[in-house]
């Protein structure tokens, strides 16, 4: 269960990691495009697996297998591999996003045999709800014309809300964060969708309106995307494995 203090600590660590990662991206002039979303998603998926393996007891509970330590661990892995990918892209004409995806895929494949399918139905419910939301967002985008980074950032947080809603409504799980717990106790699990929208929509709007540098805008949206995807994948995997 997160307290106000652990939530603040996690927030500080996240801000620092985002800041220093941006400096790294800026220093090496990393192009932020839709393909980088794929590479980053692969690494977020791998981090979610490692986090759930700690929940299940496959990995021991240490500073680097729970928050905020796991963020530091994966940042420490992600940066040198990104640097390697930059070198490979420059010298071998093999795009950075492919290196990121390939290295994460190797880690994912190593872990796959240990994933137990204890609650496939629960995971399918989450995916179905998140899929319906994705269709709605796509339909709206036909008229509003929002870029892929903004859409992805909004959708991952709706994915996270879908996972929380499903786990709480159908399987008796509990929420760990302070504010969501308060609102869920008042309005029920569906409050997660409203809470997420109340936070994510203004965040995406402010980033798009006030980020004059296009690369910075995309990077910030990429960070928001990852912050939503990580808990969404973790909660889905937890339900799938019956943790």
Burial class (CB in 10 A: 0-12, 13-18, 19+), 207: buried
C-alpha closest to that of 154 among 166, 175, 136:
136
Cis bond upstream, residue 121 (ω within 30): no
**pLDDT recorded at residue 185:** 73
Query: What is the CA 38 to chain-centroid distance, rounded?
Result: 12
Tell me the whole-structure pTM to 2 decimals: 0.91
CA distance to 81, 104, 194, per residue, from 133 (Å): 33, 27, 13
Instruction: Quote the CA–CA distance of 19 and 187 in Å, as a whole number.
Output: 35
C-alpha 207/C-alpha 35 separation (Å) is: 21
Please tell me the predicted confidence (pLDDT) of residue 57: 93
pLDDT at 172: 81
Three-class DSSP category at 116: coil
Q: What is the pLDDT of residue 30?
A: 92
Q: What is each CA distance from 183 to 99, 191, 205, 234, in whole angstroms?
A: 41, 6, 24, 21
The reported pLDDT for the residue numbered 145 is 79
Residue 177 is predicted with a pLDDT of 63
* pLDDT at residue 26, as a whole number: 92
The pLDDT, as a whole number, for residue 175 is 66
Would you state the pLDDT for residue 221? 96
Tell me the Cα Rg of the chain: 18
CA separation for the pair 107, 111 (Å, rounded): 7
pLDDT tens string 120-165: 999 999 999 999 999 999 998 888 878 999 999 999 999 999 999 9
Residue 178: what pLDDT? 61
Looking at residue 1, its pLDDT comes to: 55
Q: What is the pLDDT of residue 146?
A: 87
Q: Which of 192, 178, 186 is nearest to 232 (CA)?
A: 192
CA 128 vs CA 113, 121, 131, 229: distances in Å: 25, 10, 5, 16
Which residues in the chain land under pLDDT 70?
Answer: 1-5, 174-180
Name residues whose C-beta falls within 8 Å of residue 66's C-beta, 6 or more positions apart in sequence. Answer: 51, 54
């Amino acid at each position: 269960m997160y307290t106000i203090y652990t939530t603040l600590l996690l927030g500080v660590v996240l801000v620092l990691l985002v800041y220093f990662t941006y400096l790294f991206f800026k220093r090496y002039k990393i192009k932020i495009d839709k393909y980088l979303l794929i590479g980053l998603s692969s690494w977020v998926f791998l981090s979610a697996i490692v986090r759930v393996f700690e929940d299940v007891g496959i990995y021991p509970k240490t500073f680097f297998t729970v928050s905020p330590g796991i963020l530091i661990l994966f940042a420490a892995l992600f940066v040198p591999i990104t640097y390697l990918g930059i070198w490979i892209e420059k010298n071998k004409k093999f795009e950075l996003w492919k290196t990121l995806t390939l290295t994460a895929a190797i880690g994912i494949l190593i872990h796959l045999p240990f994933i137990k399918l204890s609650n496939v139905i629960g995971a399918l419910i989450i995916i179905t709800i998140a899929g319906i939301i994705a269709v709605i967002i796509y339909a709206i985008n036909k008229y509003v014309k929002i870029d892929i980074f903004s859409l992805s950032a909004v959708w991952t947080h709706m994915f996270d809300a879908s996972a929380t809603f499903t786990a709480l409504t159908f399987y008796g799980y509990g929420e760990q964060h302070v504010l969501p717990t308060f609102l869920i106790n008042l309005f029920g699990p569906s409050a997660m969708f409203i809470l997420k929208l109340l936070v994510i929509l203004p965040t995406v709007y402010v980033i798009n309106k006030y980020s004059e540098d296009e690369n910075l805008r995309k990077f910030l949206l990429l960070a928001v995307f990852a912050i939503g995807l990580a808990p969404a994948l973790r909660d889905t995997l937890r339900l799938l494995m019956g943790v």
